[in-house]
């Protein structure tokens, strides 16, 4: 979080994660080379550099499929959230494997002639109108450039200096990079390898990634429908959340303000607090997290905020916007006006019987901060 600067924030958990991923990559490449040298024999024998190039290339694209599946899977099912925690490490490793694939390919096919390897790679084949002889290498190079930008900025230093929204936009370039890589494989390896396994695997992978993103996107669009105004409200500034019993202990229910962001309404210690649903780190969905040690904990990377003022516990200094809440006629209501980040708000105490019509109005503790964001 906000304390100190470290080039790489290693922890035991991350070291173990990286070691396991590295072992899987090495095992995959070793297995591919071993099986490949047994399968392609005699006149069909393949030299070791080409086997290695294929192993590295297929490993990179399998890893990229895994990375692209993690996001929507975590949106659709909480059980996948732990996999999301170190996704950036997986992304950097994928780039390194792809870079190794490109290096072997350039050295083997383009480095021994009189023409410069880069010119040989990018300049000689200009059959852009032919599917059969399309310069598929160009698609791979473009994707690798995008992956380089993402790998180079996969660090909290860049996240902090670019801001979460700009950083996330840059990292959304992985989607066009994925399309470029599908083209690279479809117009390259699939045209030369006549086996059935490669096309089936690629089509299944692309179908899975695409379907998961479309389903998760459709579900998100449904959640973005604005919450209704409560029947009892005399003004339209309050949104209905529902009975307090509908919110699980130490969990949240999210509501959407018309034209605004989602608001996460948490139940903790028999009281209700509301904060923005957007984590200050990477924009993670706070409403899908839970209250741990008295702090709202982001499900993506574990950043924490106190529910009563949206501030991270000391020594951290991050803060998020808060919202006023009240319980009226047995229903939780949240004010749609966002308070400045870090504004303390008294939690709404849940009455013994929530069917009471008594109002529990909750003004910010510091009235000086009680002004809408502009």
Partner 1 sequence: MTRPLRRAHQLAWLVLAPLIAILLLAALWQRSRPPAQDPPAALQGVAR
* Residues in contact with partner 1 by the rule CB under 8 A: 131-132, 165, 168-169, 172, 175-176, 178-179, 182-183, 186-187, 190-191, 199, 202-203, 206, 210, 213-214, 217-218, 220-221, 224, 260-262, 278, 283-285
**Could you tell me the smallest distance in angstroms from the CB atom of residue 367 to partner 1?**
28
For partner 1, give the closer residue by CB, 53 or 182: 182
For partner 1, give the closer residue by CB, 199 or 344: 199
> What does the CA dihedral 58, 60, 66, 70 come to, rounded to 10 degrees?
-160
242: left (phi over 0), alpha (psi -120 to 50) or beta: left
DSSP 340-358: PTT--BPPEEPPSSTT---
For partner 1, give the closer residue by CB, 26 or 133: 133
What's the farthest any 2 CA atoms get from each other in the chain?
86
For partner 1, give the closer residue by CB, 63 or 100: 63
For partner 1, give the closer residue by CB, 16 or 179: 179
Q: Return phi, psi of residue 321, to 5°.
A: -70, 150
Are 134 and 252 in contact by the 8 Å Cβ rule? The answer is no
For partner 1, give the closer residue by CB, 43 or 221: 221
**Could you tell me the smallest distance in angstroms from the CB atom of residue 212 to partner 1?**
9
Q: Kindly state the tokens that stand for 262.
A: 């989602």
**Could you tell me the smallest distance in angstroms from the CB atom of residue 216 to partner 1?**
8
Q: Kindly state the tokens that stand for 275.
A: 């904060």
**Could you tell me the smallest distance in angstroms from the CB atom of residue 374 to partner 1?**
17
**Could you tell me the smallest distance in angstroms from the CB atom of residue 175 to partner 1?**
5
**Could you tell me the smallest distance in angstroms from the CB atom of residue 108 to partner 1?**
23
Which is it for the CA torsion 326, 329, 331, 337, positive or negative? Answer: negative
Are 363 and 324 in contact by the 8 Å Cβ rule? The answer is yes
Are 308 and 315 in contact by the 8 Å Cβ rule? The answer is no
DSSP-derived pairing of the beta strands 322-323 and 325-328: unpaired
Q: Nearest to residue 37, comparing CAs of 29, 46, 28?
A: 46
**Could you tell me the smallest distance in angstroms from the CB atom of residue 281 to partner 1?**
11
For partner 1, give the closer residue by CB, 122 or 164: 164
For partner 1, give the closer residue by CB, 185 or 348: 185
**Could you tell me the smallest distance in angstroms from the CB atom of residue 164 to partner 1?**
8
**Could you tell me the smallest distance in angstroms from the CB atom of residue 259 to partner 1?**
9
Are 243 and 333 in contact by the 8 Å Cβ rule? The answer is no
269: left (phi over 0), alpha (psi -120 to 50) or beta: left
Q: Nearest to residue 232, comparing CAs of 328, 337, 332?
A: 328
For partner 1, give the closer residue by CB, 96 or 206: 206
Rounded to 5°, angle at Cα 279 from 7 and 281: 10
Are 141 and 122 in contact by the 8 Å Cβ rule? The answer is yes
Residues 6+ apart with CB under 8 A from 181: 61, 64, 139, 140, 143
């Amino acid at each position: 979080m906000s304390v100190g600067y470290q080039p790489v924030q290693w922890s035991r958990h991350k070291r173990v994660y990286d070691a396991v991923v590295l072992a899987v990559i090495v095992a995959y490449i070793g297995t591919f080379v071993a099986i490949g040298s047994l399968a392609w024999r005699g006149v069909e024998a393949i030299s070791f550099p080409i086997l290695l190039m294929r192993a590295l290339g297929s490993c990179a694209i399998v890893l990229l499929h895994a990375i692209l599946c993690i996001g929507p899977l975590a949106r659709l099912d909480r059980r996948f959230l732990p996999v999301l925690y170190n996704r950036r490490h997986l992304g950097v490793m994928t780039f390194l494997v792809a870079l190794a694939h490109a290096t072997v390919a350039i050295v083997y096919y383009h480095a021994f002639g009189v023409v410069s390897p880069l010119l040989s790679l990018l300049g000689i084949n200009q059959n852009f109108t032919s599917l059969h002889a399309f310069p598929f290498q160009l698609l791979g190079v473009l994707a690798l450039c995008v992956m380089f930008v993402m790998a180079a900025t996969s660090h909290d230093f860049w996240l902090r200096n670019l801001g979460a929204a700009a950083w996330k936009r840059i990292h959304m370039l992985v989607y066009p990079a994925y399309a470029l890589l599908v083209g690279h494989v479809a117009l390259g390896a699939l045209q030369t390898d006549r086996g059935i396994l490669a096309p089936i695997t690629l089509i299944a992978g692309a179908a899975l990634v695409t379907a998961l993103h479309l389903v998760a996107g459709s579900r998100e669009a449904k959640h973005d429908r604005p919450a209704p105004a409560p029947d009892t409200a005399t003004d339209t500034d309050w949104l209905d959340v529902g009975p307090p019993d509908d919110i699980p202990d130490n969990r949240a229910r999210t509501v959407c303000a018309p034209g605004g962001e989602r608001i996460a309404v948490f139940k903790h210690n028999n009281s209700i607090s509301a904060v923005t649903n957007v984590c200050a780190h990477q924009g993670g969905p706070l409403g899908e997290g839970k209250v741990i040690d008295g702090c709202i904990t982001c499900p993506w990377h574990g950043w924490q905020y106190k529910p009563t003022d949206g501030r991270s516990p000391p020594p951290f200094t991050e803060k998020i916007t808060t919202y006023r809440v009240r319980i009226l006629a047995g229903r939780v209501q949240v004010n749609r006006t966002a308070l400045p980040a870090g504004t303390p708000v008294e939690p709404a105490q849940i009455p013994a019987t929530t069917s009471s019509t008594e109002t529990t109005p909750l003004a910010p503790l510091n009235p000086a901060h009680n002004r809408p964001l502009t």
